[in-house]
Chains A and B, each alone.
Chain A
Amino acid sequence: MKKIKQTIGIVFLVMIMIVAVEMVSASVPSGGTLATGNNSTASSSVSSGSSNAAGGYVTEINITGNNQQTANWQGFWGNVSAGTIYLNDSSGNSMYNWATVVTNGGFVYATTKSTAPSWSSVTAISAATLDGGSYWNFGSKSDNISNTYTSTRDITIASYTVSGAINTTVNTYFNNSAVSDGSSASRAGVIWVGEINNDKTNFKSTSSDYELLVPVVAGDSYKFYIEIS
């Protein structure tokens, strides 16, 4: 009887130990596998060749340390004019015919939220807030949001006008802004807004209708929206 009690006691302790080990393991983030690829940002120190981001899957980039400025930002670009739109995907389906989508001066939106934003609740949000701990936590870095989105403007989204939305101009032609959809005080509650300016030269010296600069944390994925006119 005594031996049985001892065994039960040991089993109980062992179970607690296993759970504890699992909890500790879960809290330690493990790194992913980075594949060396091509860089399409001019200021990066990556030694690889020219970018092929346009033609295939997103290429992961191994930044070799010198220039940290691009580590926090990613630029997305594309076309949304009426006509044939090319969007590469995993199945190889890349062509859609948009008879009419949006006119010049409309917006492309990007958010990390996995479901659609609450479009009717959009409000302004300050760059300082977005640099804070609940959001991108860029703090006082030289390439933080406050140093990138340095102006403000009024924009109208889904018939709601947001006064004083933070703003920046990318590559001369493309105005970018950011607003909150009020759903959560986190990255998922932020909508990045790229103003459409048809057929302008982008950073790759090709023609696109928008360029949108968004902050990134490893593993982020953005969903893109456009308002139908």
Chain B
Amino acid sequence: MLMMTLKRGLLVLFLLYFITGNAIAATDQVIVNSADWQDVYSGALYAGLEGIPAKFLVTSDQAPFLITTLERSRRNILLVESSANPFAFGYKSSLEAARFNVEEIKDTGNSRNIDLAKRTQTKKFIVLDDAYGYNAISVAPYAIKNNYFVLLANNLNTDEIYSFLRSNQVAELIIYGNLDNALKQKLTEFNPDVINKGNRFDNNLEMVKRFGPAQQIIFTNGEFIESEIMSGKEPVIFVGKENVPDQVIEYIKTNDIKTGVVIGNDLVGSSHLIKEATNVTIFLKFGQGFANTGSSEVKALDMFPIPVYETNVNVKSIQYNRETRSLEVTYENNGKIGTYLRSSIELFSAGTRIATVGDIDPVLVNRENSLTISYNKDINEQDLISKITIVFGEFPRSLDRVFHIEMPVGQISIKDNSDFSISGATYEVDPHKLKIGLKNTGEVPAYGKTQVTFIVYGEEKILTQDKAMHLDPGASGVAEFITTLSETNIEENPRVKIHLNYGERESTLSKVIEENPELKIKYASYNTLILILFILIVIGAVYYTRKNKNKNKGN
């Protein structure tokens, strides 16, 4: 009897050891072995919510060294690893060889984000578009402090996110920043709180306000993950790489912020700007060192980069047109996204500054495109040198980059007799076309490039022609834009904003018209109606012919 009991006990012991393994022990720390920023972010976020440390690899070389820096007392590791793109292969084995207990999560991109969300058991979520990685940084401190998990959405995982939320009894949901309209519509059933002030800096300041009072804050630019940013101890305020937007300076001045910690060695210039403008004490967190006795040079911090859209502007040409008495500056946007810029141009003659011109409001230059702006100024001097300072960025209120250039000013004498008018704006529902009517009302051939601004679910959308349209004198033309507007969007846009650059020279469209015409809606095109009528006639004819045949047969 006793032997039977003992045998049974040993069998149970054997089975239990393999079934439960190390899962009984709670996770002590998180390690991320992935070249995908979303894995690093999700792993660090999870660790922050659980109140445990997280470390991440930034190169394969680092892999063996990182193990030596791990806290030995934290033996139970959750290893978040990319199956497609890890930095080190077999890292679980390496950690186990160092006598850590390792549970591995290994999956593809977004599912890992949701897997970790499930582990936290929280019912509070923030959803944002993973194309805007800086948004993930902006919300991280608030999320960790208030126990929200951040879901990273894109057009491939919309259904997965929706299903996950649906099955999770969502208590609170925040939609942060721009989000795909289809997903946004689906999420309305959870009564989300939407934060979208139109640009990353204003959105970020909204999160800082929600974080609550803080006398010490972190300054960064949202372009990398670093452990302090993911700690949730202080809110994060965005500063630009080279410039600090006005609203950020204003916020710092008007809220009781005494100390700031800048993370990011490239942000020293911005830090200095903040200090000069606000007198806040600023510390730069610039390096790290490891205890190995002896001595060593301080190393840079471990920072995992987040993909960003690079903005890139240049001045293609600057010339003074004696005929029109204006300075014509052609700006180039060589980046992949539309960029707003505002410039200040000093003009010098023989070393003496004789004039300063520039933009009051930011102007949009479309991606991989150029724009000429004409600044009226009476100048008689020759041999001019210009010093141009351009602040630029993704949005009008996020001009966080600076570009300086010094250039000689060319001299031309060209009259521009072009004249255009905008005849109207129409949206054709069936082919999804937004059409802007233009007319060359001048006496010379001319070019026009159209930009139209309208609203889609409360957010401003801008479409610009890539290439200018040529019109002969007296000719009319239509600038067409393919876009889908729902009935709701149509109601949002009783009028649209048109900005037309035009001129005699295609390279210098320095004249501008801005209008807000009523948006007329066409629900079916003329051709479609003709086609429908034709089909109806054919159907009617076939029906009538058959009816007659049957009648004759009967007779």
Measured CB to CB, the residues of A under 8 A from B are 6-7, 10-11, 13-15, 17-19, 22, 25-26, 29-30, 32-33, 39-41, 44, 51, 53-54, 57-61, 63, 70-78, 80, 85, 87-94, 96-101, 109-110, 114-116, 118-120, 158-159, 203-204, 216-229
Contact = CB atoms under 8 A, between A and B. Distances in A.
A221 B272 contact: no
Contacts of A203: 295
Interface string B223-241: 0000110010110000000
B227 to A, nearest CB: 7
Contacts of A119: 216, 259, 281, 283
A224 B294 contact: no
Given A61-B292, A225-B283, A77 B65 contact: no
A218 B291 CA distance: 6
Given A22-B22, A91-B59, 17 more contacts: A18-B13, A18-B24, A22-B25, A32-B72, A33-B98, A41-B294, A53-B297, A61-B293, A70-B293, A78-B298, A90-B59, A100-B272, A116-B283, A120-B215, A216-B291, A219-B291, A228-B271
Nearest to B1: A6
A60 B73 CA distance: 20
Contacts of B12: 7, 10-11, 14
A175 to B, nearest CB: 17
A90 B68 contact: no
Greatest chain A CB density within 10 A among B65, B234, B297 is at: B297
B484 to A, nearest CB: 42
B5 interface: yes
Interface of B: 5, 8-9, 12-13, 16-17, 20, 22, 24-25, 53, 57-59, 61-62, 65, 67-73, 75, 98-99, 215-216, 218, 227-228, 231, 233-234, 258-259, 261-262, 265-266, 268-269, 271-272, 275, 281-303
Contacts, number: 229
A46 to B, nearest CB: 8
Contacts of A7: 8, 12
B212 to A, nearest CB: 17
B288 A221 contact: yes
Q: Report whether over half of chain B's contact residues are helix, strand or loop; otherwise say mixed.
A: mixed
B246 to A, nearest CB: 20
A98 B302 CA distance: 19
A210 to B, nearest CB: 9
A87 B294 contact: no
Contacts of B294: 39-41, 44, 51, 53, 59, 61, 70, 74-75
Contacts of B16: 11, 14-15, 18
A40 B258 contact: no
A76 B268 contact: no
Nearest to B285: A225
Contacts of B283: 109, 116, 119, 158, 225-228
Contacts of B266: 96
A37 B22 CA distance: 35
A101 B287 CA distance: 14
A120 B258 contact: yes
Contacts of B288: 221-224
Nearest to B217: A116
B175 to A, nearest CB: 29
B292 A90 contact: no
A85 B287 CA distance: 11
Nearest to B262: A228
- Rank and list the top 8 A-B pairs by shortest CB-CB distance, nearest first: A89-B300, A216-B291, A220-B291, A75-B295, A87-B300, A10-B9, A96-B265, A224-B287
